[in-house]
Structures are given as C-alpha cells and as structure tokens.
Structure 1
Amino acid sequence: MKIGVIGIGEIGGTIARRWSEKGHGVRVANSRGSEAVKRFADEIGADAADIYGAVEGADVVLLSIPFPAVAKLPSDLFDRAAEGVAIIDTGNYYPDVRDPRIPEIDAGMPESVWLSRQLGHPILKAFNSILFHALSELGKPEGLPDRLAIPVAGDDARAKRIVMGLVNEMGFDPVDGGSLEESWRQQPSTPAYCCDYGAAKTREGIRAAVKGRAEKIRDKEWREGYGRLYANQPTHADAHADVIAMNRSLNPL
C-alpha cells in the first residue's frame, strides 16, 4: 500500500517505521518540508516528502501531529490522494495542558468528529489509545493470548478494514470501536484508553464509557497523577507501568 505519514514524532515515527518494515511504500513528512525528514526517511527505508507529496496517491494517510495543528492544514491537502483514502487520526485533546480550548469539543463533540470537519474529509480514529512504549515495544504475533488491543472507530467499513489490518501488522489486536460519533469512547481517560488491555477487555472498556465522565477525570485526577509520575520517572519505559496502573485505577472494570 501507498501510505503517507504526516508527523514523525514518537507515535507517527514508530508507526512509519513498522509499516516500512512490512513492505509498504511509506512517505513521511512534517510541517518543515522534505529536507527536515530526509534523515529519518533514509533510516527507515521510506521516502521524504512535504505534506502534499506524502498525501499524493496515498491509500492511507496517518496524521500524527499536535491536535489543534490539524486545523491549519491546507484545505486542498487531500485533493490528490487516492480515491477512498483512509485518513487516520492518532491525536488527543488535552486542553490547558498542551492544547488551547476548543469550544465545540468542550460542549461534547467527539474529538475526531471535530477534526474531520476541519479537514472536510471522513477520518478514522486509531493509535490514540496506546502509550508510546507499548506501541514501540509490546507488539506481539497474532494469536498470542496476551496480545494488546487497539480500537479503531470510523464510518467507512472498507477504510476501517484496511486500518484494522494495519493495526494487526503492527502486532496488536484490532477492535472495532464503532462509528466516528462513538469515538469519544476511546478518548483520554475513558476505560479503554491507555490501559494495555487485550481485545476482550478493550471491548468491555468501550462499552463501559460514560459520556462526560472522562473529561472530568482528565482535567483533575489524571492531570495531577500524570504530572507526578513523569516528574519522578522522566522516561516512557520508567513510567509506563505506573501510568497504566493509574489509568486502570481511574476507570476500574
């Protein structure tokens, strides 16, 4: 498949690397142009591009950039993508910590619905509910009983099948997260978010989500606990187990 990855930070860069290893034609880009990503592209066997080059002819485009930055992408960016392109949103909204307040989301609009409206294209929500350390280090072959799961939400059945197949290639069990309107069930501080569960428990977490509850946890208990954990354990590997334990304790299943 032809895949464009816009944003090569911890999440986007890890996914681009894995997909390149699987033999996909990967093009990587960021906001600073092709020269800024050339070294990384060469390292993983991908092609360096600007954002238009990453999207042109792509069957799949992964957006892994700061959440509000999506609204600044050019309105014609996806005009030259392949017909039926699957656009994946990996982002999360963290107001007053990293992101400015977005009134529509604060009023209850699911994050990825807002993002889809900014782009003017249908999208899928995936890879947002797993921590970098797990995504990078904890993938396992298909069929193992302790394999972690990643939910995928979206409205296009064909695009969802493609993305779920890519999740599987990454070493994780794909779980159908429902429609894009239901993608709030995998947003920050919901029971399925960054808890390192397998497929059955992830489905249970998606079902257990309560509208409006996660935002209150995110803005108080999670913020206080997360800051404390990373202040004492500054690397992902050091803090990973404690963050997972905290997330599970905030939404016990």
Structure 2
Amino acid sequence: MSSQQHPLGISFEFFPPNTDAGRDKLMLVRDELATRNPRFFSVTYGAGGSTQARTRDTVRTVSQNGITTAPHLSCIGSEKAQLRDLLSQYREEGINSLVALRGDMPSGMGSIGELRYANELVEFIRDETGDHFNIAVAAYPESHPQAANLDKDIENFARKMKAGADMAITQYFFTADAYFNFVDKVRALGVEQPIIPGIMPITNYTKLARFSDSCGAEIPRWMRKQLESYGDDSEAIAKFGTEAVSRLCQRLLDGGAPGLHFYTLNQAAPVLKVVDNLVG
C-alpha cells in the first residue's frame, strides 16, 4: 500500500464487533478501505466505556496495517484513574491520536464520573500527556440534541477547541449549508482548527430515519419523501443514497471542507462508491 494519503483527506470510522465473525469481516473492510490511503481510522467507544475492552482490541487489530488509528475516549462514567491508565496503555501501544467525547450516561449507572464535559476531558489529556496525542472532538452543525440552542452549543464547542483540541469531526448531516453556517459561526469565535464533516452513507432508510431522529441529524423533507417512495427496493435506495451523498461531499469539498470522515458502519462498499465519485 502506498504511504501517500488520499488527496481529498478522507478518514473512516469503525465500531467494535461483538463476534469473531464480525471481527473477521471488519479486517476485510479495513483492508479494502486502506487501499484509498486514508488519513486515519477511528474506533468508537460505548457509553460509560461499555465497549472499552473491545475498542482496545479493535484498535490493536486495525492499526496493524500502519494507518493511524484513533480510539474514541469518553469521560462520562469514568474516573480519572481509569482514564489515566487507558492513556498510558495507548501510549505504550504507539497510539498517538484520540477522539475525545463527553459520551452518554448508560442506563443504570449512578455516577457521572469526575469529568462532566468534553472540554474537561481534553484538558485532562493535555495535563497528563502534553502534546503526545492529536485530539479530535465532536461538532454538531445542526446543534447537539441536548443543547439549549445552537448559539449555546457553539459556545460549548469553542470551549472544547480552546481546551487543546487539534481538530473536530462533525455529526453527520445532509444539508451542506448547516456545515458552512456552523464553520462561519465558530470562526467568528476564534476557532481556527480544522472542522471535518462527518458523512453517513445511505443504504437503509428505516434504520437511517430511526438513528437520525435519536441523534438529532436532520434528513431533509425532499430526501425523506424520495427514500420513502422506494419502499423496500434496497437497490434503488442505495443508488439514490450514493448520488445524494456524493453531491453533498463534492459541495463540501468545493466549499473548502478540509476533508471527509465517513461513518462506515463496518461496511466498505457504500463508502467506496461515494469516495470514488469525488474529484479533487
């Protein structure tokens, strides 16, 4: 594999598989996506660290092909001692990138933990490890679902960036203007770091609608109506999804986005169809 990165600055996210079969499949997906020379892979982390062991195992396996791998790290439900140990383990394993998140409180967990917000986690990582880690944080162009309003959310985002983050990766969205408006607003607050759009391929409308409703990502009405019209025709949904997401990505790149981060859902084909449609 060439060490030269993809000219468009792409990256890919995986989630830790639950089974050996899922792990074997992910390795095939990783190898296929690695042919596009991404900047990095990221690996998600469950609420309250509920997939911590699987995340670490997945990071070890994914990073074996030489591409930078960034584990997600969330602070809700974790104590500083736990986080300190995890940071130490990642350093020992040669990991130098992280995605630092507040995380969600899992049901049944009594303690929020010693760190309540992502900006506190970023500060903690910097205090513990200096500049060892390249730290990414989350951004929400259409506002975090729990935020009082967009302006408050943007203030909170700026706080995270000024705490020591190197870049941000957004929640997925389907309206380019939401991203450009968000970037304009945070630049006005003095945030200069790269803000990378998060991209969700469209392969299954029912699952996409359910997930989007829960995480606050807006599916435009025209897109919902078009997808609904296909019913159970998965081939038509996938074809439309590839075309719509490719147009979105091209507009983002043409408008100055510094790269694209794809939420792969541990599948290669839907992502590659979009990536291979794009031009520099």
TM range (shorter): 0.3 to 0.5
Question: TM-score scaled by structure 1?
Answer: 0.36
TM-score where L is the length of structure 2: 0.33
Higher relative contact order (CA 8 A, sep 6+): 2
